[in-house]
Structure 1
Amino acid sequence: MTNLHRRSLIKALGASALLSALPTGVLAAKSLRPLYIDGLSFLPDSLDDLAASGLSAYLCDISAIEEVKQEDGTLNYKRTYNACIKSIADAGKRVSDNPGQLLQGLSAKDIKNARESGRTAVFFQIQGADCVEERLSQVDEFYQKGLRVMQLTHHYGNSFAGGALDSDEHGGLNLPLSPKGYALVDKLNDSGILIDLSHSSPQTALDTIAASRMPVVQSHGAARAIVNHARCSPDQVIRAIADSGGVFGTFMMSFWLTTSSTPTVEHYLAQLKHVARVGGIDAVAIANDYPLRGQENLLKLNNDNAEGVKEYLDWWHSLRAKKVLGFDHEPVHVVIPELNHIERMSRIHDALKDAGFSAADADKIMGGNWQRVLQQVLV
Structure 2
Amino acid sequence: MTQKVCNQARRHILKGLGAATLLSPLSSLPAWAVESRRLYIDGLSFLPTDINDVKASKLDAFIADISGIDKIEQADGTINYKRTYQACINSIKQAANSVIANPDVYLQGQTGADINKARAQQQTAVFFQIQGADCVEDDGANNEWPLLDSLHQQGLRVLQLTHHYGNRYAGGALDNNGLKSLNPPLTTAGQSLIEELNRKNILIDVSHSSAQTALDTAKASRSPIVQSHGAARAIVNNARCSPDEVIRAIGDSGGVFGVFMMSFWLTNKPTPTIEDYIRQLGYIAKVGGVNSVAIANDFPLRGQENLLALDNNNSEGIKEYLPWWHRLEEQNVLGFDVEPKHVVIPEFNSIDRMSRIDDALKKARFKSTDRDRFMGENWQRVLKQVLV
Instruction: Determine if the TM-score, normalized by the shorter chain, exceeds 0.5.
Output: yes
1:85 aligns with 2:94: no
TM-score (norm 1): 0.91
State how far apart, in whole Å, the 2-side matches of 1:98 and 1:332 are: 39
Q: Letter of the aligned partner of 2:325 in structure 1?
A: W
The correspondence for 2:115, drawn from 95, 111, 122, is 111
User: Match for 1:166 among 172, 175, 178?
Assistant: 175
Q: 1:100 — aligned with what?
A: 104
How many angstroms apart in 1 are the aligned matches of 2:357 and 2:177? 34
- Residue equivalent to 1:60: 64
- Of 127, 144, 151 in structure 1, the residue corresponding to residue 160 of structure 2 is 151
Q: How many aligned residue pairs are there?
A: 354
**Stretches of structure 1 lacking an aligned partner (at least 5 in a row):** 1-25
Work out the CA distance in 1 between the residues paired with 2:315 and 2:33.
45
* Post-superposition offset of 1:167: 3.2
Match for 1:130 among 134, 150, 155?
A: 134
After TM superposition, give the deviation of residue 137 of structure 1 in Å: 2.6
What's the counterpart of residue 332 of structure 1?
341
Q: What one-letter code is carried by the residue in structure 1 that aligns with 2:102? A: N
Q: Which moved more, 1:69-78 or 1:239-248?
A: 69-78
* Deviation per residue, 1:152-196 (Å, 9 max, x gap): 000000010000001367543210001110000000000000000
Q: Is the 8 A contact 2:35 2:119 kept in 1?
A: no
Deviation at 1:34, TM superposition (A): 2.6
Q: Give the secondary-structure state (helix, strand or coil) at the position aligned to 2:321.
A: helix
Bigger Rg, structure 1 or 2: 2
Contact 1:161 1:175 in 2 (8 A): yes
Match of 2:331 in 1: 322
Residue matched to 2:384: 375
Report the counterpart of residue 315 of structure 2 in structure 1.
306
Cα distance change, pair 359–27 in 1 and its aligned pair in 2 (3 A): farther
Distance 1:251 1:30, change over 3 A: closer
Contact 1:221 1:232 in 2 (8 A): yes
Aligned to 2:236: 227
> Would you say 1:35 and 2:35 are equivalent positions?
no
Letter in 1 for 2:333: V
Deviations 1:297-347 (A, max 9, x none): 000000000000000000000100100000000100000000000000000
> What is the rounded CA distance, in whole Å, between the counterparts of 1:206 and 1:271 in structure 2?
21
Segments of 5+ residues of structure 2 without an aligned counterpart are 1-29, 140-144
1:41 CA displacement: 0.1
One-letter code aligned to 2:336: F
Letter in 2 for 1:147: L
Structure 1 position 356 matched with structure 2 position 365: yes
How far apart are 1:117 and its partner, in Å? 1.6
CA contact (8 A) 2:31 2:122 kept: no
Percent of aligned positions that are identical: 63
Runs of 4+ in 1 over 6 A off after TM superposition: none
- Amino acid corresponding to residue 56 of structure 1 in structure 2: D
Q: What secondary structure does 1:316 align onto?
A: helix
RMSD between superposed Cα atoms in Å? 1.4
Tell whether the 8 Å contact from 1:37 to 1:367 is kept in structure 2 after alignment: yes
CA distance in 2, matches of 1:148, 1:72: 33
Could you tell me which of 295, 317, 320 is aligned with 2:304?
A: 295
Matches within 5 A, 1:111-260: 111-135=115-139, 136-167=145-176, 171-260=180-269
How many Å separate the matches in 1 of 2:271 and 2:74?
A: 34
How many angstroms does 1:114 deviate by?
1.3
C-alpha offsets along residues 268-320 of structure 1, whole Å, 9 cap, x if unaligned?
Answer: 00000000000110000000000000000000000000000000000000100
TM-score, normalised to structure 2, is 0.89
